[in-house]
Structures are given as structure tokens and as C-alpha cells.
Amino acid sequence: MYCVSVGASHRLRGGLAALLAALVVLTAATDPADARWRKKRGNSGSATSSIVHNPQYAAIVVDANTGDLLHSANPDSLRHPASLTKIMTLYLLFERLESGRIKLDSQLEVSAAAAAQAPSKLGLKPGQTISAEDAIKALVTKSANDIAVVVAEALAGSEEEFAKQMTRKARALRMSKTVYKNASGLPDDDQVTTARDQALLGLAIQDRFPRYYQYFSTRSFTFRGRGMGNHNRLLGRVNGVDGIKTGYIRASGFNLVTSVRRGPRHIVAVVLGGTSAGQRDARMRELIEARIVEASVKRTSPKVTEVAAAEPAKPVRVALAAPTAKAEPKPEPAASVTRKDIEPVKVEAAKPIPLVPQPQAGSTEPIKPRLVKTLTMRPGTTQVAAVAPLSLLSPEPITAQASPAAETAQPVRHTTAMAPAREDSPPPPPPGARPGVLGVLTAKDMAAAAKPVAVASAAADITTSSAPAAAKAAPPTREIKRTGWIIQVGAFPDEGEAREKLANAKTKAAKLLESADSFTEPVTKGDKTLYRARFAGFKQHQAEAACRYLKQNDFACMAIRN
């Protein structure tokens, strides 16, 4: 019994030794790097599978050289853009920089509304300023919501108006389903986009602004001694990635628009609805590696261009044109865009309508002279009340012809917008009246006029042979139109405080602001109203000189082209 136990024990030990030796050989034959790759591959596959089956997931990959569609998943389904919104904010800012209306060193003022935005933000205080170039870097890296509002207010006066401009620009770029409601991407149920629209914007901003697009490759940014990194973790880690933007809110998930260039190949890819930043980035890496090899090495597609609001949205690239064969359900009313939001209403001047039958061309009917009455007018500038609806009058000024009795009198200038039409207005303008030619009234027409025409004169009375005197009308109120350049020295919750700031500035820079027109301008955001303290009436160099002087004396100031 003892011998048997010993033999079994030896056999068991021998088997274990053989198994251990086999494991050692197998381990030695396995490359540790390969093991790490397999582990990484397994994790990546799990993350990719999770994101692809997420209901919020949408993606698209486009060959930038040809416009061909290399990959798509729910490309036209409505999603919330989150901070991808800032791509359009920067598009409009680049547009102003390119036109020269603002410069990279132009100072943009921080309002109370901007300072109150939710993080992520720089945390500037109301009244402080930031240069346009630093604003670009803050949007690209930190994705600062307060700076997005600063840009919106500097370019459009208010964030609400800026959002309308953003939506109109989206339509001009053929982004047919995108609606913007703010400049930052903070939560708003009505702010929506699609993966296809974001790919189109990613292409357009590179084609239109190749110089300024380079800011999207900024990996870090230092502002007033504080450093911050770019949220786009693929920059510097994935070969060829040169931008452009990440985004996240709870309603959207994790979003990313990426541009990749490897040699002559160039693609733009979009991933929306990631369940985490890691999953989103892993899916983007997978799409890049799988599709970049399919991209063309030669550009055959034209650059993305804008279209006028009235033009039909003809697709520039076949892949980027939303499919039309299958009708999709209409988006919710809250996310719809009205024509009023897309483009301003254009009103064409009404064509003159003949007031009396005219002889046919080639008529042999002789012209019969008629008895007429003559109006005698004293020299001077007069304004005559309209006697017909404005739409029936010629838009050109009518110059009176002097009668023989008044050949030496100075020309009389007439306007056609002095008084509203009256129910008991006299008959329409006399036959033959047109720009540069006065018509004539027959005796019959004059007798039919029950009441004299009211005439207002700024220099002299007008008399006629049929009425003792014409009634005098008060001149219209002149609307003040401020043109040229404006400087702003602050925005305040109290109008009295704004006026006090204007007075202090004028005292400090008396010579520079001596002839300037000071005024306050209310701006309402939600339930808050701010009063901007501004001076108008400058040329560009005057406005910039005034701002430089005021800043040297501890005044916040920015110059704006009105």
C-alpha cells in the first residue's frame, strides 16, 4: 500500500512538471507587446461595440479630396451639437477677421451675461477684455462658454441675434438641418444638428479660412499665467490629426469632429453620441485607420462655397447632399426653422401703375390742348404731402418745372413721405406725371377736387388761385443714424451708471471725445437688461486712438465698426 501511494505520487508530480514546462514554453513564445496589443484590442472592441449600439450614436467619414462618403451611420438624424457649436462661432469670427472689420489684437469686452455662463469658462469679470486671438485659443482649447458669448456680443450685439446669424450661415453652407440657439452649445432643446452637417462645416471652415484654421491644432494655451490643454486628445497622438473640436452635454453624449491628413490623403470624420470620451476617441481611431487608406490621393472636388439665401441648395459634393429619395419624419416644431430665421425679407419697389388710359403706340389721334390752372410757388425748399399711396409713386425724386411766370425762381424740391394718406385725399397725380415731368390738371379735374391739398413749407407759403392758403404741416422727426465707428466703455445694469461712465470718460479724454455723440444702448438677455455706454461719430483711426488713450487711463474700451 505504501509503494502504491509513492508510485501515484511520483506520477502526479511528473504530470505537474510536464504541464508546468509546457506553460513556460508557451509563455516564452508569446511576445509581451503582442499580449498588450490583444488586451488593448479587446478593450477597444468592447468600447466600439458599446458606442455603435448606443441610440444617440451617429457617424460619418468623408473623403475631403473627392467628397465621397466612406462611412455613415445615422448621418441625418437630429442630435445636439454641444460645444461643436463653437466651430460655427469661430467661422463667423474668422469671417470678420478676413474682412478686416476686426483684428487679432482687437479687445472684446466681457459683459455680465458672458461672465455668468456655466463652465467650462475662463472666469473673466464684467468689464474686463480679451483679445480676439486669445478668444480663439480659449474656444479651441478650453472650450470656454463665457468667451463664446463675448464673441457673439462683439459681432452681433447680443447672443440671440448672433445665433440667428449662425443659422443663416448654416443655410448658406447647405447645412439643411442645423439650428443654432446660442454661441456656446450649452443645453437648448431647439439647438440641433446632424453628423452630415458637421462634416460639411468641418470641410468648409478649412476651405474658406486655411490660415485661421491652423488655430484648431493648438494643443495648449496660457492665459494670464494659467495654462490649459486642448480637450481633443487625438491631437499629437494619432498620426495626421490636425483638429478640430470636441463637445459634450448630457443630452448629446460625447461628440468629436476630426480632420486627418496623411500625405495627399485627407478625410473629415464625425462621431456623435459617445457614452464616454474614451469610447468616442476609440471609435474615431478605428474609423480613421479603416477609412484613410480608402481616401483619394488627388483632389477633384471643388472647395465648399456659400450660396445666397434665395438660391436652391444645390449639393456641391454628392456624399454631403442629404438623401431625398426617402422622406424622413419632420423634426419637432421646436427645432424647425422659419424663413424669417433664415433670411431677411426682401421687398421690391412697386412698379408705377398707369393711372389713366394711354394712347396706343402709333396712334394718329391728335393731341388736343386743355385749359389748366397754374400753381405759383415762391422760391425756397418745400415739402409736398403725398396725394396717392406711396406704392403708386415713383421712387425717384420729382423735380418741378418752373412756369413762365417764375423762370428765375430756384428749383423746388419735393418729397413724397411727408404725411399719411387720408381717406378724403384728392384725386391721384395728374395724367402724364412721371419722374422729371409734371402732369397737368384739367379744369374738370380741378372742379372735382372738393378740398385743397395740404402743403407744408419749410421756407415759404404756397398759394393757389383756388385756395387762400395751404395748411402748414410739422416736419417729420429725424431719426438719428449713427454711422462710422463706435467705441464702448462698458456695459452696466443701471442706465445712470452707464451715463456716469460716459461723463467720466469725456472728462478724461476731452479733446478726443469733444465732438463725439455719447449715448446708452439697452440690451436685454432673458430677464436681465444691460446698458452699453458708447460714443459714436468716429473714423477708424480716431476710434482706435481714443480707446488707446482711455485704456492707458484705466478705462475699458473697444472700438466697433457700426
Task: Please identify every residue annotated as catalytic.
Answer: 83, 86, 143
Coil/strand/helix, residue 133 = helix
The grid cell for 353 is 401703375
Residue with cell 440690451: 523
3-state SS string over 359-409?
CCCCCCCCCCCCCECCCEECCCCEEECCCCCHHHCCCCCCECCCCHHHCCC
Burial class (CB in 10 A: 0-12, 13-18, 19+), 514: exposed
The contacts of residue 56 (CB under 8 Å, 6+ apart) are 79, 252, 253, 272, 273
Neighbours of 499 (CB within 10 A): 16
Q: Which contiguous run of DSSP H or E holds residue 154?
A: helix 145-156
The grid cell for 300 is 477633384
Distance CA 144, CA 184 (A): 8
- Can you give the C-alpha Rg of the chain in angstroms? 36
Residue with cell 412698379: 351
| Helices of type H across 214-351 | 277-291, 339-342
Q: Given the DSSP bridges, would you call strands 241-249 and 107-109 parallel, antiparallel or unpaired?
A: unpaired
Contact (CB, 8 A) for 533 and 550: no
Contact (CB, 8 A) for 554 and 562: no
Query: Which of 320, 246, 233, 268 lies closest to 86, judged by CA?
Result: 246
What amino acid occupies position 16? L
Distances (CA, A) of 560 to 89, 100, 509, 522: 18, 12, 18, 17
Q: Given the DSSP bridges, would you call strands 376-377 and 265-274 parallel, antiparallel or unpaired?
A: unpaired
Distance of CA 473 to the CA centre of its chain: 44
Q: Give the bridge partners for 274, in sequence order.
A: 254
Distance CA 179, CA 166 (A): 8
Length of the chain as a residue count:
562
What amino acid occupies position 545? A
